[in-house]
A and B are shown apart, each in its own frame.
Chain A
């Protein structure tokens, strides 16, 4: 069966290259370490916070603070998994071996997504527990309402970031171009659009802002988003699906 062959081959491909292994490890380390640092800092800050800030303090969400940086490593992982084929020229050998391009692309993405999901879920849980340990008295418990949803959602969020990047890389093919668009997009543009009043409403529908809603347990004051936590994750999933569909259509149509 072609799909299982691609899955085995892709697993070998990811394992046998240092860059994919390293970027995934980096995503784990950065997310957890930065999460611990920020939770530790906010524990000290808590006493100096305003009353309103204390009321809306979200110990779960703050333990995922490291994801803002860790997700960049996830982006690099997603881009590398796909664009390595193009930058090395191996795509031709691969497509000659598996002429069913859809099978090839989606099996490849399934392997990388599966791996990313396992790593991201583990990261999310570790980041939560270590973050709560840092928070001391202000900590949340995994049994609190919505907390488990937020922790699992955090793992899915990071996975979807990687999937979206894979779709973009499948469309653009070049790793430099893909990273050059994705990095500023998630690091700058999304933040800018989300913080400027005029564009706030649009910004909320960007993949990262919509998706990160799943990690919030305590709603923010004055926030009236049109979607709930799962709705937000759904929006993010739509982005990822759209990117993958674009990548698939182009791969199907284009000369390799």
Chain B
């Protein structure tokens, strides 16, 4: 169990962590989320007694880290995968650490096997890829068979197989009753790995709750309804009926309706009562990523702006298309529209954005409007971005983001 109480860290004028209180419990994977520079790594270092808090304290099993008896056998940490002397072999690196913690040398070969680095154990770590470095760092964290494990961005640089391995490793460690505290930027990964979330922004606690609670508290689930395209009047009819029943209805680009505030069976009943046929009625849940973006949008320190390239702009050759703005670039609110409770447009995600949670839909699906007349879906949700002036009808709506490079290449 890790417990922070009023943890505060200042570097001169800059407050890296402010009044942070949380508990990380054993038997679960606790995800530690926050934008860059939000104080995650500083907090991790304070947990390990490397940085001294300006105020407050953090304890592991009731002890501040430096007073923890036999600390390296109780706590294992991966802070930085590159914190290895490049001229030292993986095995020697782990051997130094094992000897430092009073761990027998044969444990080194065990953990090398666990992380799958036996073959390169005697190679200098200089030649290691980031993924191999992460494996070596994880091996170091596992050396002492500790009850408490800290991982700072463990999946950075890992291949899909490695990511799956780390995910299963974390879950297995937690299932053994250990305390597992993992920071990551990869929301989709956290959604699959973590049971509990601690979210910070600008060094302050934003949330401390289970993953499912976090998603439902910070996002709105909605239903998508599609009426027959051939009979637009049915759509009007359903809209008014649903609004009357207390639902919030939003028309979508391709003619579907987004409904919040009504459960699915109720929508079906209302449609039936109104005598409207439905071509689609589907539940949609926001992803952890969306929920996270909404929560942290005010706490992001480093935000990209539009690259105007005004100094580099070449006059467009005649007939060339101006490049389309890419969603998410320099459009601060792209990810985080106002929440539906405030009456805004929920999840004005760029349509067609492929998402694992089904928030997007294929732009030219079987239910879609005829593709030719459809405005480019990527140009739509960007009121702040310069709209492509009178763009000729886009080439057949791009199905994958990779297609976005085409107009750029045309320049």
Residues of chain A at the chain B interface (Cβ within 8 Å) = 5-6, 8-10, 12-13, 16-19, 84, 88-90, 92-100, 255-256
Contacts and interface: CB of A to CB of B under 8 A. Distances in A.
Contacts of B84: 88, 90
B3 to A, nearest CB: 18
B102 A5 contact: yes
A88 B102 CA distance: 22
Nearest to B49: A99
Interface in B48-102: 48-52, 65-66, 68, 71-72, 75, 77, 79-80, 82-89, 92-93, 95-97, 99-102
Contact of A97 (B93, B95, B97): B97
B-side interface size class: 20 to 34
Q: Is the interface of A mostly helix, strand, loop or mixed?
A: helix
A89 to B, nearest CB: 3
Given A84-B85, A89-B80, A96-B77, A12 B49 contact: no
Nearest to A88: B85
Interface in B87-132: 87-89, 92-93, 95-97, 99-102
Contact of B71 (A6, A12, A97): A97
A19 B82 CA distance: 19
Nearest to A13: B96
Interface in B283-330: none
B63 to A, nearest CB: 10
Listed residue (A84, A94, A97) with the most chain B CB atoms within 10 angstroms of its CB: A97
Contacts of A96: 48-50, 65, 71-72, 75, 77, 79
B225 interface: no
Contact of A95 (B50, B75, B89): B50
B92 A16 contact: yes
A16 B97 CA distance: 13
B66 A9 contact: no
B140 interface: yes
Listed residue (B52, B93, B99) with the most chain A CB atoms within 10 angstroms of its CB: B99
10 contacts: A5-B99, A5-B100, A16-B92, A17-B88, A88-B85, A89-B83, A92-B48, A94-B100, A95-B50, A98-B100
A93 B140 contact: yes
A169 to B, nearest CB: 15
A255 B43 CA distance: 12
Contacts of A90: 83-85
Given A89-B79, A90-B85, 17 more contacts: A10-B96, A12-B96, A16-B93, A16-B95, A19-B87, A89-B82, A90-B83, A90-B84, A94-B97, A94-B100, A95-B49, A96-B49, A98-B72, A99-B49, A99-B65, A255-B51, A256-B50
8 closest cross-chain pairs (CB), A and B: A89-B83, A16-B92, A9-B100, A9-B99, A255-B51, A99-B66, A256-B50, A8-B99
B210 to A, nearest CB: 29
B85 A256 contact: no
Nearest to B88: A16
Contacts of A92: 45, 48, 50, 79-80, 83
Contacts of A17: 85, 87-88
Contacts of A9: 96-97, 99-100
A100 B140 CA distance: 20
A256 B92 contact: no
Nearest to B101: A97
Contacts of B102: 5
Nearest to A7: B99
Nearest to B87: A17
Given A97-B72, A99-B68, A256-B45, A6 B100 contact: yes
Contacts of A99: 49, 65-66, 68, 71
Contacts of A6: 100
B11 to A, nearest CB: 9
B227 to A, nearest CB: 60
A99 B49 CA distance: 7
Contacts of A16: 88-89, 92-93, 95-96
B83 A88 contact: yes
A5 B88 contact: no
Nearest to A15: B92
Interface string B133-164: 00000001000000000000000000000000
Contact of B79 (A8, A12, A93, A98): A93
Contacts of B82: 88-89
Nearest to B82: A89
A92 B80 CA distance: 9
Contact of A100 (B50, B66, B87, B93): B66
B87 A18 contact: yes
Contacts of B77: 93, 96
B81 to A, nearest CB: 10
Nearest to B67: A99
A15 to B, nearest CB: 8
A13 B79 CA distance: 20
